[in-house]
Amino acid sequence: MPRSELTIDLGAIRRNAATLLAALAGAELWAVVKANAYGHGAPEVARAALEAGATALCTATVGEALDLRPRFPETRILVMGPTADADLALAREARLELAVSDGRLPEGIPLHVKLDTGMGRYGLAELSALSADVVGLMSHLATADSDQAFAVQQIDRFLAATGQHPGFLRHIANSAAALRLPAARLDAARCGIALYGLSPFGTDPADEGLEPALAWRSRLAQVKRLEPGESTGYRRAFVASEPTWIGIVPVGYADGFRRDLAGTEVLVDGEPRRTLGVVSMDSFAVELPGELPVGTPVTLIGDGLLAEQHARVADTITYELVCGIDSRPQRARRRVLDA
Ligand SMILES: *Cc1c(COP(=O)(O)O)cnc(C)c1O
């Protein structure tokens, strides 16, 4: 038995891409597949998104883009992060496109000049001279999920700064803006989280017509009864006050089931059950209604249990949760459903 199994449903990715394309009303959908497609597996997600109508792939690094290039020889691949001079020759040879955020414009490779319209991170304060290599003008929104008024200010600044430079592809929207801010759509939207069926707003993705693509399941590896005064796990963080059946799930923080998920609920045989004590590196404990067989199915994410629920418990965002899941075969079995 594998310790846990990750299932990636490419049908869900395709349907989410279709939902985004409908919201984009004519703008292009560019699939953001950085960080191994937010832990979902970049090659498969990229293929599904392109099949569903996405027209480009976006990565954070040249290395991520180089991994994808052989599988997608003709696709536009935009590297959104900063590119070291040492990587320019490789990027050029692989026909990547680069976001540039300082005044230097490398030659012989398509460029997207990035403006800082309020993110306060990468980007130029204003558009300076553009070169013949520039094909796009871009910016990034800081608050599309949380403060639409500020996002609209950023869009207005972007439109004002780029208005005198016609003929370039303009793109500023992420998932939240693609779904909720029509003014941000422009020529293309760079969408990640919504493609994976996770809500950029931290709420139920079904509210946006999105469907989670990732499920994470395991099984009870041990079942035992704690007598009053007995404890489970490090630091004796849970001590039974009455006879308590517990199950040990062979997944821990090294697998991406983070320590700050202590107290969250998982599904044991389909029923929500609370986790007990601290999360160990390779396991955690869950409360059982009584004695259950070893091997009883446990769902960590999926089957109606939303990653958003865990994110609230861990005081983080689903982006960080799914990026942190370790899908290497040494830790988990990964299964791709391609229906
Ligand atoms: C990660 C990223 C995106 C995608 O954001 P989502 O909220 O996942 O849609 C878009 N643009 C840039 C520059 C990014 O770094």
Q: Running DSSP on this structure, what letter comes out for residue 302?
A: B
Q: Running DSSP on this structure, what letter comes out for residue 310?
A: H
Q: What is the pLDDT along the chain (339 residues), one digit of tens a residue?
A: 689 999 999 999 999 999 999 999 999 999 999 999 999 999 999 999 999 999 999 999 999 999 999 999 999 999 999 999 999 999 999 999 999 998 899 999 999 999 999 999 999 998 888 999 999 999 999 999 999 999 999 999 999 999 989 999 999 999 999 999 999 999 999 999 999 999 999 999 999 999 999 999 999 999 999 999 999 999 999 999 999 999 999 999 999 999 999 999 999 999 999 999 999 999 999 999 999 999 999 999 999 999 999 999 999 999 999 999 999 999 999 999 997
> Where do the domains of the chain lie, and which CATH numbers do they carry?
10-197 (3.20.20.10), 214-337 (2.40.37.10)
The number of the ligand 1 atom at minimal distance from the alpha carbon of 195 is 9
The number of the ligand 1 atom at minimal distance from the alpha carbon of 190 is 10
State if residue 190 touches ligand 1 by the CB under 6 angstroms criterion. yes
Tell me if 52 sits within 8 A of 338, measured CB to CB.
Answer: no
Question: Could you tell which of 40, 158, 190, 193 is best to mutate to test the pocket of ligand 1, judged by most ligand atoms within 8 Å of the CB?
Answer: 190
Q: Torsion angle of alpha carbons 155, 54, 58, 132, nearest 10°? A: -70
Residue 73, amino acid: P
Residue nearest (by alpha carbon) to ligand 1 atom 6: 192
The number of the ligand 1 atom at minimal distance from the alpha carbon of 38 is 8
Tokens of 245: 């059946």
Active site residues: 34, 234
Give the DSSP H or E segment for 21. Answer: helix 10-24
List beta partners, residue 115: 124
